[in-house]
Amino acid sequence: MSQPCLLFLGLSLLSSPMLVETAAAQTPSLADLSTQGRVALKEQQFDRAEKVYEQVVKLDPRSAEAHSNLGLALYMQGSYRRAISELRRALEIDSRLDRAQVLLALSYFNSGDLERAIPLLEKAYQNKKDDPVVVAHLGLAYLREEKDDKALVMLSRWAELEPQSPDALYFKGKASLYVASNSFVQLTKVGPDSYRMFQLRAEMLRQQGLNPAAINEYKKAIDQKPDAAGLHYALGLLYRETGRLDEALAEFNEELKISPGDAMTDYLIGDVYRQQNKLDSAQQYLADALNLQPGLADAQLDLAKVYNSQGKIDEAIKLLQTFVAVKPDEQEPHYLLFNLYKQRGQMEEARRELQIFEELKRKASDQEEKRMRLDSIN
């Protein structure tokens, strides 16, 4: 038999009713394809899902779900332009598909079309304020568009939703820097000789360790605005750090006139009095601080030291026990408890506190040694 006859025979067989019926039986149904597509998405086999849903939309071009799922498969493979086409088609058929709206926004974002992405992300955010994906992308979109104030709000929310995320913390910090930088640039323009400008210079000098220069700037700020909250407090801290306790006390008292009832200022006054060995005055202010803020750990520790100096062992032990319950890794309170228990003859408790103190001291020494080795390598 010649070749043309074989060809003719083949064509005749393919067109026979029996073979057409068999081929049709082997073609997956729409329901089967939809099931295959869902399984592929669930198993994150996005390339397979893409192929399956391409068949589905050919069989059922009016299926919003199929177009949406095809858009998802394409998005997950980074085919953002094609994903946009499918997701837009899905939403034309059914505008209520929330997931498709979010995916469309993310596709626009990843393809760099922020003009279209931002309105969609803002719309999604109205109903998804606790969705870190929506919040993060809206914040990052604002950041790219240099809308720094809006970006900081969103990125701060992202950090609240995912507090262990390095990305969230990094971008929140970045937005904060941008907002601060923009504000400070504007401050130099509108108020170059304002007390806030002097305050800013003082804070920057303090960060650089230039305390005498920082003190001078704080004084200039106070001369211009003596009743501004926080200025006397900041200057007092600098005096305290440099051992100028009388001057620190004067500034803290001025701050207390401006902001009465401030626990931290009461604590700092009490601490200065304790360092000056004026125990009765120290006790008064430290107790006031703890009345205002019972959990103020520094005030608890200071008042315990005052009680110890006054011979009020029971009161000192009670405060130190409260302190170490919250901050068990602080060395000093354990050593103080060791001495106080020893004075009361409670030797078992004293040994326990001494053991804790020595273990914490050893850990701190090991960490310092590691840090010094790393510094020497660098």
CA distance 330 to 142: 42
150 part of a folded domain: yes
Find out whether 118 and 143 touch, Cβ atoms under 8 Å: no
**Quick check: 214 pLDDT over 90?**
yes
Among the listed residues 305, 373, 368, the one whose alpha carbon sits nearest the alpha carbon of residue 337: 305
* Residues 68, 101 within the same domain: yes
Is residue 108 domain-shared with residue 183, that is, in the same domain? no
Give the model's pLDDT for residue 365: 85
Residue 70 covered by a domain: yes
Give the pLDDT confidence score for residue 184 in this predicted structure. 85
Q: Which of 61, 83, 113 is the last residue of a domain?
A: 113
| Residues 46 and 99 both lie in one domain | yes
DSSP class of residue 196 equals H
26-51 residues labelled b (16+ CB within 10 A) or e (exposed): eeeeeeebbebbeebbeeeebebbbb
> Comparing 1-5, 92-96, 114-118, 139-143, which segment has the lowest mean pLDDT?
1-5
Cα–Cα distance measured from residue 151 to residue 121, given in angstroms and rounded to the nearest whole number: 13
CA pseudo-torsion sign 155, 161, 162, 164: positive
d(Cα 123, Cα 325) in Å, to the nearest integer?
46
Looking up residue 72, the CATH number of its domain turns out to be 1.25.40.10
Co-location of 84 and 108 in the same domain: yes
Write the pLDDT tens digit of every residue in 23-81.
334 457 888 888 898 998 999 999 999 999 999 989 999 999 999 999 999 999 999 99
The pLDDT confidence band at residue 4, using thresholds 50, 70 and 90, is: very low
Domain boundary among 171, 190, 209: 190
Q: Is residue 216 part of a domain?
A: no
The one-character DSSP state at 259 is S
Whether 104 and 139 map to the same domain: the answer is no
Could you give the number of structural domains in the chain? 2
What average pLDDT does range 219-229 have in this prediction? 95
Q: Residues 11-22: pLDDT tens digits?
A: 222 233 332 333
Question: Is residue 310 assigned to a domain?
Answer: no
Q: Is residue 359 one of the residues assigned to a domain? A: no
Question: How buried is residue 14: exposed, middle or buried, by Cβ count under 10 Å (0-12/13-18/19+)?
Answer: exposed
Q: What's the pLDDT at 3?
A: 36
What's the mean per-residue pLDDT of the chain? 88
Per-residue pLDDT at 360: 92
What is the extent of the structural domain holding 154? 129-190
- 351 pLDDT higher than 80: yes
Q: Are residues 109 and 147 in the same domain?
A: no
Residue 350 inside a domain? The answer is no
Q: Strand ranges (DSSP E) for the chain?
A: none
109 and 36 housed in the same domain? yes
- Residue 304's nearest CA partner among 325, 326, 322 is 322
How far is 178 from 197, CA to CA, in rounded Å? Answer: 18
CA atoms of 323 and 344, how far apart (whole Å): 20
- The answer as to whether 283 is a domain residue is no
54 in a structural domain: yes
Torsion of CA 118, 123, 125, 131, to 10 degrees: -90
User: Do residue 42 and residue 100 come from a single domain?
Assistant: yes
Can you tell me the distance from the alpha carbon of 264 to that of 254, in angstroms, rounded to the nearest whole number? 14
H helices, E strands: number in the chain: 21, 0
Confidence of residue 166 (pLDDT cuts 50, 70, 90): very high
- Residue 85 sits in the same domain as residue 139: no
| Confidence tier at 309 by pLDDT (50, 70, 90) | very high
Rounded Cα gap, residues 238 and 220, in angstroms: 15
* pLDDT exceeds cutoff 80 at 345: yes
Locate 185 and state its tokens: 């640039």
Same domain, 164 and 135: yes
Do both 71 and 135 map to the same domain?
no
Alpha-carbon distance of 286 to 16, in angstroms, equals 100
Residue with tokens 């899902």: 49
Q: For tokens 């303090």, what's the residue?
A: 206
Q: Domain check: are 33 and 107 in the same one?
A: yes
pLDDT digits (tens, 9 = 90+) for 225-260: 999 999 999 999 999 999 999 999 999 999 999 998
